[in-house]
Structure 1
Amino acid sequence: MADLFEYGYWGLFFASFLAATILPFSSEAILSLFVYSGYDISVTVAIASLGNWLGGMLTYYLGYLGKWTWIEKFLRINQAKAEKTKLFLQNKGSALAFFAFLPVVGDIIPLGLGLLRSKPIWVALFMAAGKLCRYIVWAWITLQIINA
């Protein structure tokens, strides 16, 4: 992680991008390191949010590319049951993208929304809002700890 810090904002962007994929990686530690080191907090939050959002959208797109034959075979999800769930989520499922920042399930949410073919524009907007809120709160908590 320290290696990514040496690349400045590009390292933060890359760390945030990786953290939004299925790969286990923590961008919060790098964000805290940037805040502690005196980097501009607004730029730091914006870059971390952008990288994390793009990583989440990549995961959504990979889910969107998924084929039902693969899903039934490897994930053991029945297409009829998934279609019923899709109808239920059709008008409100995209809002779940807001919670893509959550640990563990957060990486699965965009993938699932992609598999269910949720509307990309709403997924993108809700996901961006959730990730931005998460990094704002994380940066604020880091500042509170530093100033304590």
Structure 2
Amino acid sequence: MVYLTLFASAFLAATLLPASSEAYLLYLLQGDRNALMLWLVATLGNTAGGMLNYCLGVYISHFSGWADRAFSEKQRERAAGLFRKYGVWTLLGSWLPIVGDPLTFVAGLAGTRWRLALLLIAVGKGARYAVLIAFSYWVLSR
């Protein structure tokens, strides 16, 4: 049950909803739980939430017609081209507060290949949880 709630917490924290999973993860680390398993579950949940944002971006871009009404074809193509050229690597920062979750949404709007988006989002979010866990062990060992 603990792992399910951690997954849900990490998932919600990665969506455009205001939520946080770090405090819960730190709390769970105080117990006698496997840190590697906690890292894996949190990373999977957070990555899944990021991919939900990505899918919403894809949906809005291709199916809803909203992007067609809000921006001209030329504007959309230019923005997508710029994101593909410079912005795709920003998905490694998808773990950042405030700007990280919208980056995953923009990746979907820009038509970033889903496999590349998944890889970069997972690496970024996994690195964040790894640093958080390592830092907590460093603080506790002092």
Report the TM-score when normalising by structure 2: 0.89
**Separation of aligned partners in 1, 2:118 and 2:86:** 14
**Identity across matched positions, percent:** 31
What residue in structure 1 maps to residue 49 of structure 2?
55
Deviation by residue 1:82-139 (Cα, 9 ceiling, x = unmatched): 3112223324432221111000001100100101111111010011000110000001
Equivalent pair of 1:62/1:111 in contact (CA under 8 Å): yes
Residue in structure 1 matching 2:66, options 56, 66, 70: 70
Question: CA RMSD of the aligned region, Å?
Answer: 1.7
Equivalent pair of 2:80/2:109 in contact (CA under 8 Å): no
Equivalent pair of 1:9/1:44 in contact (CA under 8 Å): yes
**Separation of aligned partners in 2, 1:121 and 1:32:** 30
Count of residue pairs the alignment pairs up: 140
Structure 2: which 5+ runs fail to align?
none
Residue in structure 2 matching 1:46, options 40, 46, 65: 40
Cα separation, partners in 2 of 1:45 and 1:24, compared to 1, 3 Å = same
**Separation of aligned partners in 1, 2:84 and 2:97:** 24
**Separation of aligned partners in 2, 1:56 and 1:120:** 11
What residue in structure 2 maps to residue 116 of structure 1?
110
Cα displacement (A) at 1:145: 2.1
Report the TM-score when normalising by structure 1: 0.86
- Higher mean Cα deviation, 110-119 or 80-89? 80-89
